[in-house]
Every structure is written in structure tokens, then in C-alpha cells.
Amino acid sequence: MSSGKNTVLGFMFLFFAVLAILYFQTTSAEEIVYEENFEDNSGIEGDFLRCEDGTLYLDTKNSAQTGGGVWNKNVSLSPGKISWRWDGQDTDNFSLWLKVTFNDHKSIYYVAAGSRNPQSEGEFYRDRENRRRFSPSIVISGIPMSQVERDLVSDYTRYCGPAENVRIVKVSAGLGDSSTEHMNILRISDLKIYSQS
């Protein structure tokens, strides 16, 4: 009789353990608050940069031809995690970066491994007393060309200071080909920003 009670108690314990695991998985799951599908060419500046099949890509079609461009999207989001996928073919003397700009004029560049660093060094702006200020950009280079995931709050805190009351106001991507000997076919896709957990 007591072994039957133990079996029932064991099944009840197992049932509640499974319920608890499912509950914590669903409550701690990060919610996607922004997803870029790269469906249209709005927000693109420059030559040879296009959106197609959910991908932002650069293809000059000719190794002797050079060019590039920048894609920009204005947003208003609390920082959380960010993820994207990028890759390249026949690369040399190229630029591939993703930039996140915050409402306090600070920005972080994520630069692909092998890429040249972006030319922008920061932003000039006017403070509340109308004084001219300069906010340098943070450049994190050497990011592998594959699926990438970064914690924006952690990166901001590490390089810029406390992330209290900070919002993302713009996301940008730069793709550039400066080589006359390589094709430098570059792509970015699956850009997502998640809520802070």
C-alpha cells in the first residue's frame, strides 16, 4: 500500500516539476521587439546596395568595380540582445559593419572580422546649454562572419557607462567594396532585437 502511495507521490512530483520547467521557460523567453526583414530598398544610401529575399546585400557584379552604401532605420527601443547573420564571398579590402545609435548620442559599431573600420569617429551635437559636444563611437572589431548575438546592455555598460534610461534610436549597416581585384559580395540578414530579460 505504501509503495502505491510513493508511486502516486512520485508521479505528482514529476508532473509539477515538468509544469514548473515549462512555466519558467515561457516566462524567461526573450521576446523579439524588432525584426528587420530587408524587404524594400528604403533607407539605403549609395550604390550597389540592395534588399532582396530578406537580405541586405552588396554585389558590384564586377571585381574591377568598387562602391558601397549604408542602410539606416530609425527606431525607438529599449536595449536588450541583438542578433544578426552576415557573411561574405571573395573578400578583400571591404567594409562590413552594424551600428547601434542611442538617444544620448553614443553609438556602438560591430565590425566584421577582416573588415576595415568605419570612417565615422562619432557625433557632434548640442547639449542643453547649446554647447557643442562630441560623443566618440565605440568600435568592436573582429566579429566573426556567421550568426552573431550580442548583449547591447552589457556592451553599453562596458564601453559607455550605466545603461539607465537609454534607448536605441537608430540601427545602421554599412557594406563597402574598395578592392579592384575581389568581388566582395557581402550580406546581412536575420536582424533582431530582443526585450531585456
| Cα–Cα distances in angstroms (integers) from residue 25 to residues 19, 29, 82, in the given order | 10, 6, 20
* Among 150, 158, 177, 155, residue whose Cα is nearest residue 60: 177
Give exposure, 35-72, as e/b (b: 16+ Cβ within 10 Å): ebebeeeebbeeebbebeeebbbbbbeeeeebebbbbe
In terms of pLDDT, which residue wins out, 48 or 17? 48
5-14, 91-100, 109-118, 129-138: range with lowest mean pLDDT: 5-14
Residue 166: pLDDT above 90? yes
pLDDT in tens, 36-53: 999 988 899 988 999 999
Residue 65: pLDDT above 50? yes
Place of cell 514548473: 20
Residue 11: pLDDT above 80? no
pTM of structure: 0.82
Residue 22: pLDDT above 50? no
| Cα–Cα distance, 32 to 175 (Å, whole number) | 25
Residue 28: pLDDT above 50? no
Which DSSP state fits 168? E
pLDDT in tens, 117-160: 998 778 888 888 899 988 889 999 999 999 999 999 999 999 99
Q: What percent of the chain has pLDDT over 70?
A: 85
